[in-house]
Structure formats: structure tokens, C-alpha cells
């Protein structure tokens, strides 16, 4: 038996991805929530999948909704930090929007489990998830604000709600087709600029957006 | 007590929308599935919400997944019939695609319950829902085929997967914001043409698309 954090013995060898017991619990829960369903998964089932006792799981998470909250939060932490950094950056809006969409699509494609599929759960409307909802609303607001700053008289302001939705369509495509579309990190940001009626040099914007991501010390790929 | 189909007595007055007991069961189930969750809803709970006995419910639906299947099927029957009719129609591809998106967005906005939020349920990957999955894949295929026939050299063929996703973003917007965006039936088809790099007379396409819907005897609004 190996040690699991503060003195709890593990039932067997490590079964999950993750450097820490907490990460292993999150990985197991993410798999069960996305393949079996949130309501149909118990903390007992998660503990079994990790190979630990249920009591050990409760040392890390007091309840199943705390695990869901931690997983959901991971899906927006990176893009939200980037969106905040972009507010203080001198990049023009089309470059900032492209950089945000590029980064966000990449992380939605790269995530081991398609956790965004859980965004539509009715359980997320509970007060427990208010903080997550506020953070995701903030991210959505950054997309809308950047979209609104792009100069293109041909589309109405209501179109500014759509770039965020096109980015999150990666979740639906992964769910239906088992994988994200090839080169989604270029396809979707390009489509966003076209959709907003922006008719400049998209190739130039793409290069500038990669530069912004490098400058802000966020991984470009 | 009122009569409920073949001789079953109703427990009380009608509580649900719907002209028939079957429609009342579907309406109650749709509400519970979208507000409480599919796994967390029992056939007993559905029967209670309608005001009938569980045995009466089983006269109409043998199991909970039969109710879900009937509800999901309703969400795509209209657009799928239209997409098939459009294959035999002489309308140019941009008009046909606009008409399909316009019709589909309207029905997604008008639906009393936001049933599309159930498309991401892991339960739908079961063999029981294979027929529904095939029908939705066919609808998706019609969108992609029409998108591919639109002449616009500026976007890669991979962009043809995105119009279907932009239409279904109505579901995500309803889930997050409680309502579809105003004039979504114009906003989203317009955005699709822009996104595909189509630079013709969008206003003219919109008028032609409404004409196609009238000609095919499908409700224009």
C-alpha cells in the first residue's frame, strides 16, 4: 500500500492520471461524470475508480458537488486569466479576440475529458454553483466586449454574443463526433472574424495573436 | 375524475399542457428532465406531475427512455423533413441553407422546454438512442452538404461543420440566459452566411428563404 496524503492507506496501486491524490480523484470523477452522468455517479463510485476508500475521498472533497465545482472551474480558469490580461494589453481588439478564442479552443480540445458537456446540467443552477456561473459569465462578457470593439458595420451588435458560442461548440463537436475538428484552433477563430464581418488580413491577425500569447507567457500550443 | 384514454381514471383535473394524455406526459417529462435532470427524474415523478397513476403512464410509454426518445425526436422532426424537402427544391444553396437555419432556430426558440440541453447526456450514447442519433446525424449532414455547395473560396471546407453548431447555440444561450437572443431567427442565419465568407445580398436571401418556407408549406414564423 502507498500513502495517500495525511496517513490514509491506499487500497492498491495508482490507477488514475494525476500527480496527487486530489488530481486522481478529479480525473476519475471527470471520466464518470462525462461517461456515466453526474447524477448517476456516487462518491463511492469515484473512490472505487481511484482505488481509495470513500473516507479518504472525503478528506479532499466534502461532497460530490465540490468535485464538480473544482472540475468546472478548471475549464475556465485559463481563458479567464487570459481575458483579464488582455484588457491591459495594447493589442487591437481583433488580435485580442483571436488570441482568446485560439487559447480557449486549444484547451477545450486538449482536455482529457469533455467537461464542458456538463455546463447544461440543471444542477448547475443551484446556489452552490453561483461562483462558477459568475466566473463563466465574466468570461462570456470579455468575449462580447472584445467582439463589440471590432469595427465592422455590417453585423448588428446582437452578433457579439456568438463568438463565445462558436468557441464552446468544440464541446458539442467532441460529444457528437468523439473528437474536435482538425485544426479547430485556427478554424474557429478564423470563422469568428468572418462572422463578425471583419475583412482584414486574417493571417496577419493569427500571427499577431500567437505573439500576444507568447508575450503574456501563456502557452501558444 | 375524468377518463384517461382506455378506461384509466385520472386522479384529478388536468394539470399539464397538451391535448392528449400522451402530450401531457411528454410536457411534464420535458419540464422535469430539463429542470431536475434526466437521471434524477422517475416515471413516478412524471406521473405525479401529470396527475395520473404510474400504471396509466406505462400504458403510453413502457419506460423512461421511451419518453426521452419521443421528446428528442420531436426536436429534429421538423427541420429534418424540411432538409429532405430542400434537397428536391431548386432554391440556390445559400437560400436553402438560410431557410433551414431560419426554420430550425425558430423552432428551437419557440419550444416550451429547452430539450436540446439533453443532447449532451451520456445516456444518449446507449443503443436505445441509435435511431435518434442517426436522424440527428442526417440533419447535421444536410447542413454540411448545403454549406459545402455555397461558393466562397475564402473559407476552408472544415468550416462547413460550423453552421449546424451555430444553430444549436440557441440551446446554450437559452440555458445560460433564460431566453434566446432577440431576433435569433435572423441573427443566426445572417451570421452563418458571413461565417462561410458569402458576400452577396443577405437581405435578398432572407426574403427568398421565407418564400421557400411558404412554398414548402412549412410555417414561416
Instruction: Confirm or reject contact between A20 and chain B (CB < 8 A).
Output: no
Task: Indicate if A84 and A193 belong to the same structural domain.
Answer: yes
pLDDT tens digits in sequence order for chain A, 221 residues long:
444 444 455 556 666 777 899 999 999 999 999 999 999 999 999 999 999 999 999 999 999 999 999 999 999 999 999 999 999 999 999 999 999 999 999 999 999 999 999 999 999 999 999 999 999 999 999 999 999 999 776 788 889 999 999 999 999 999 999 999 889 999 999 999 999 999 899 999 999 999 999 999 765 44
> What pLDDT is stored for residue B1 in this prediction?
40
Tell me the C-alpha distance between B15 and B5, whole Å: 16
Identify whether A77 is part of a domain. Answer: yes
Of A120, A181, A195, the CB nearest to B195: A195
B46 Rama sector, left if φ>0, alpha if ψ -120 to 50, beta otherwise? alpha
CB contact under 8 A, B123 and A37: yes
- For the cut 70, the answer to whether the pLDDT of residue B192 exceeds it is yes
Confidence of residue B12 (pLDDT cuts 50, 70, 90): low
Task: Indicate if B48 and B81 belong to the same structural domain.
Answer: no
> What pLDDT is stored for residue B220 in this prediction?
47
Task: Indicate if B149 and B163 belong to the same structural domain.
Answer: yes
> What pLDDT is stored for residue B199 in this prediction?
87
Task: Indicate if A118 and A176 belong to the same structural domain.
Answer: yes
> What pLDDT is stored for residue B16 in this prediction?
77
Identify whether A221 is part of a domain. Answer: no
What is the tally of helices (H) and strands (E) in chain B? 9, 2
Task: Indicate if B53 and B81 belong to the same structural domain.
Answer: no
Instruction: Confirm or reject contact between A195 and chain B (CB < 8 A).
Output: yes
Across-strand partners of A8? A4
Identify whether B221 is part of a domain. Answer: no
Distance from CA of B37 to the nearest CA of A (A): 6
User: What does the block give as the cell for A199?
Assistant: 475583412
* Best CA proximity match to A168, nearest among A92, A212, A115, A207: A115
Distance from CA of A21 to the nearest CA of B (A): 26
Across-strand partners of B3? B9
Instruction: Confirm or reject contact between B182 and chain A (CB < 8 A).
Output: yes
> What pLDDT is stored for residue B120 in this prediction?
95
The H or E element spanning position A67 is: helix A64-87
Query: What is the per-residue pLDDT across B89-107, written as a single tens digit (0 to 9) for each?
Result: 999 999 999 999 999 999 9
The residue range of the domain holding B41 is 3-62
- For the cut 70, the answer to whether the pLDDT of residue B29 exceeds it is yes
Of A37, A155, A169, the CB nearest to B39: A37
Task: Indicate if B76 and B57 belong to the same structural domain.
Answer: no
Instruction: Confirm or reject contact between B220 and chain A (CB < 8 A).
Output: no
- For the cut 60, the answer to whether the pLDDT of residue B126 exceeds it is yes
Instruction: Confirm or reject contact between A154 and chain B (CB < 8 A).
Output: yes
Confidence of residue B152 (pLDDT cuts 50, 70, 90): confident
Contact A120, B172 (CB under 8 A): yes
What is the tally of helices (H) and strands (E) in chain A? 9, 2
Tell me the C-alpha distance between B149 and B94, whole Å: 8
Helix (H, G, I), strand (E, B) or coil at A9: strand
Identify whether B187 is part of a domain. Answer: yes
Q: Domain of A45: which CATH number? A: 1.10.10.60
Residues A136, A140, A142, A148, Cα dihedral to 10°: -170
For an interface test with B, the pick among A42, A72, A122, A159 (most B C-beta atoms closer than 10 Å) comes out as A122
Tell me the C-alpha distance between B203 and B193, whole Å: 11
- For the cut 50, the answer to whether the pLDDT of residue B52 exceeds it is yes
What is the ipTM, given to two decimal places? 0.90
Could you tell me which chain B residue has the CA closest to the CA of A191?
B195
Identify whether B220 is part of a domain. Answer: no
CB contact under 8 A, A172 and B162: no
Contact B27, B16 (CB under 8 A): yes
- How many distinct structural domains can be found in chain B? 2
Query: What is the per-residue pLDDT across B200-217, written as a single tens digit (0 to 9) for each?
Result: 999 999 999 999 999 997
Could you tell me which chain B residue has the CA closest to the CA of A140?
B176
Task: Indicate if A188 and A116 belong to the same structural domain.
Answer: yes
A38 CB neighbours in chain B (<8 A) are 37, 39
Could you tell me which chain A residue has the CA closest to the CA of B170?
A165
Instruction: Confirm or reject contact between A19 and chain B (CB < 8 A).
Output: no
- For the cut 80, the answer to whether the pLDDT of residue B11 exceeds it is no
First and final C-alpha spacing in chain B: 38
Identify whether B89 is part of a domain. Answer: yes
Instruction: Confirm or reject contact between B42 and chain A (CB < 8 A).
Output: no
Of A158, A176, A191, the CB nearest to B187: A158
Of A165, A176, A191, the CB nearest to B169: A165
Instruction: Confirm or reject contact between A182 and chain B (CB < 8 A).
Output: yes
CA-based max dimension of chain A: 66
Tell me the C-alpha distance between A10 and A47, whole Å: 10
Confidence of residue B156 (pLDDT cuts 50, 70, 90): confident
> What pLDDT is stored for residue B67 in this prediction?
98
> What pLDDT is stored for residue B97 in this prediction?
98
**Average pLDDT taken over every residue of chain B:** 91
A180 CB neighbours in chain B (<8 A) are none
For an interface test with A, the pick among B34, B68, B120, B134 (most A C-beta atoms closer than 10 Å) comes out as B120
Q: Around Cβ A84, how many Cβ atoms within 10 Å?
A: 12
Instruction: Confirm or reject contact between A178 and chain B (CB < 8 A).
Output: no
Confidence of residue B3 (pLDDT cuts 50, 70, 90): very low
Task: Indicate if A210 and A181 belong to the same structural domain.
Answer: yes
Confidence of residue B14 (pLDDT cuts 50, 70, 90): low
- pTM for the full predicted model: 0.91
Of B123, B166, B171, the CB nearest to A162: B166
Tell me the C-alpha distance between A63 and A42, whole Å: 10
Amino acid at each position: 500500500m502507498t500513502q495517500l496524503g495525511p496517513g490514509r492507506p491506499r487500497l492498491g496501486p495508482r490507477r488514475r492520471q494525476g500527480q496527487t491524490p486530489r488530481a486522481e480523484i478529479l480525473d476519475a470523477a471527470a471520466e464518470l461524470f462525462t461517461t456515466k452522468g453526474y447524477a448517476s455517479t456516487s462518491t463511492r463510485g469515484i473512490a472505487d475508480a481511484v482505488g481509495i476508500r470513500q473516507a479518504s475521498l472525503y478528506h479532499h472533497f466534502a461532497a460530490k458537488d465540490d468535485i464538480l465545482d473544482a472540475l468546472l472551474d478548471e475549464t475556465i480558469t485559463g481563458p479567464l486569466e487570459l481575458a483579464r490580461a488582455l484588457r491591459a494589453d495594447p493589442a487591437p481588439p481583433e488580435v485580442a479576440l483571436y488570441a482568446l478564442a485560439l487559447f480557449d479552443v486549444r484547451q477545450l480540445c486538449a482536455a482529457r475529458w469533455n467537461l464542458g458537456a456538463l455546463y447544461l446540467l440543471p444542477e448547475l443552477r443551484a446556489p452552490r454553483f453561483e461562483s462558477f456561473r459568475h466566473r463563466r459569465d465574466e468570461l462570456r462578457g470579455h468575449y462580447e466586449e472584445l467582439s463589440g470593439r471590432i469595427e465592422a458595420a455590417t453585423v448588428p451588435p446582437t452578433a457579439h454574443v456568438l463568438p463565445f458560442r462558436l468557441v464552446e461548440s468544440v464541446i458539442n463537436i467532441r460529444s457528437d463526433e468523439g473528437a474536435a475538428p482538425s485544426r479547430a484552433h485556427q478554424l474557429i477563430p478564423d470563422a469568428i472574424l468572418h462572422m463578425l464581418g471583419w475583412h482584414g488580413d486574417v493571417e496577419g491577425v493569427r500571427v499577431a495573436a500567437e505573439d500576444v500569447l507568447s508575450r503574456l507567457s501563456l502557452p501558444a500550443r
